[in-house]
Chains A and B, each alone.
Chain A
């Protein structure tokens, strides 16, 4: 039931992008206990409408780097930490940051900034791994924050 609600939420996030192929990919992401760099790349690019239906998780990671948002050296199957995800989220959605984020892109400052805006909720350590479900929830709140509805 909980997962169904999140799938609906994700479809709303992705809008018309949610086709059969993308729904399958999203299902895979939601089921992952430890989300990967490719999962994050796919979700973020989809939220911005920068990804085609045929592109998979590996392609999304490459596309993220091609668009200038990626983290060099990271492979699509690498587990992603909350801090890395926060950095990518700020880059892709253009979220504002604090004084320290202007000086450095360290993951800990990205996490703190997003906690301040209530985009990241609950236990938040920059080096902890995150589940696909949590990644989707954070993305949902980031989009809601941009709309002024959070």
Chain B
């Protein structure tokens, strides 16, 4: 009986979202196929790992104009995933009704809202990047913008959920009996000044999550709150920066305070065959004095071959990308991009452990000494879109471990092929 009521409520919810765009002015739909195969090889372990993933998605979008420049857009996407570790996974990735009302506040500013399932992201990309079911409200004026988000993650399928803060979250990650991911409420607020001075964007944001599970002897719950400041914009001609800093408060068995910060510089020279130079630094605190390891809600991507979890990790990266055939008369080769980059990893604190991913680097690494250098990686990439609906990428990388992995630790290699097709 309860299931029938739940199914009825879900049906009414979908109907409520779909009804306003029943008489649409525009519609489109399509199928996308994305495949990726990754091979890893560890010289030291003489071991290799091959994994692959093919995702086929069906999407549709409906648009209806309202008032003077306003819009209602219903967008949905469902996918079928086949991977080496799972025969299939069918999921609803997006179901969103978004609307915008220009001139909603007496002729000035725009009110925007979205309901349904969509991606929640914080401006720094270090705290949160996950889909959730909820609502987003936007109040946009020429000099400032305010965005308010609220969502629930308990309806995300367990294999899809990336929210893994606590030991209970991690334990559920590999539990096939668990259908849905961790039940948490997310809240986010962002106040943005698009041009506060000298074409600089200033963003002040606050993110929080509350664990809805009952705490008992077997399950620990973790709540957390974050505050961040981001500044981005041009510094001089062709040179742009994105700089951010923030603090994370975690309530677990004990209260923890973590810090994070970083900056990314990009130097763009289109006339030099579309050259892009980048230099970036990232810091996530480790345990030292009153400060604890930084714990984000979802893990940001920190490395390519070596994939440490945020917390007690700092990196320095440099990269270069070029499109050698940008001036070619053949359209299909113009967008071929070659790139290379390097990254050095350090422990932020000379105490405490680092958690990594990969073959050699999987699990928790607790160096005995006070050595901070963890290792370096170099990567190469070729990215191309020969046709508007066909793209592929080849990536290779090697991680050279530091002495914390042992004096004779050998390198780890990674190769990845990605293909995307839009039908």
* Chain A contact residues, CB within 8 Å of chain B: 96-101, 108-109, 111-113, 115-117, 123, 125-129
Contacts and interface: CB of A to CB of B under 8 A. Distances in A.
B363 interface: no
Q: Nearest 4 A-B pairs (CB), nearest first?
A: A125-B26, A116-B388, A98-B389, A128-B26
A112 B388 contact: yes
B25 A128 contact: yes
A112 B422 contact: yes
B28 A126 contact: yes
Contacts of A128: 25-26, 63
A97 B30 contact: no
Contacts of B30: 108, 112
B337 to A, nearest CB: 15
Contacts of B388: 97-98, 101, 112-113, 115-117
A96 B389 CA distance: 12
A120 B385 CA distance: 18
B-side binding surface: helix, strand, loop or mixed?
strand
Nearest to A115: B388
A98 B331 CA distance: 11
Nearest to B387: A98
A117 B334 CA distance: 11
A97 to B, nearest CB: 7
A120 to B, nearest CB: 11
Contacts of A97: 387-388
A108 B28 contact: yes
Interface residues of B, number: 18
A113 B386 CA distance: 12
B390 to A, nearest CB: 5
A123 B422 contact: no
Interface of B: 25-30, 61, 63, 71, 331, 385, 387-390, 421-423
A115 B422 CA distance: 13
Contact of B27 (A99, A100, A112, A127): A127
Contacts of B387: 97-99
A20 B306 CA distance: 68
Contacts of A111: 28
- Most chain A CB within 10 A, of B27, B28, B71, B331, is at B28
Nearest to A126: B28
A123 B26 contact: yes
Nearest to B63: A125
B213 to A, nearest CB: 42
Given A112-B389, A125-B27, 4 more contacts: A108-B29, A123-B63, A125-B26, A128-B25
A7 B61 CA distance: 34
Contacts of A99: 387, 389-390, 421
Given A96-B331, A99-B421, A123-B63, A109 B26 contact: no
A117 B388 CA distance: 8
Contacts of B71: 123
A4 B385 CA distance: 38
A20 B29 CA distance: 43
Contact of A98 (B27, B28, B63, B390): B390
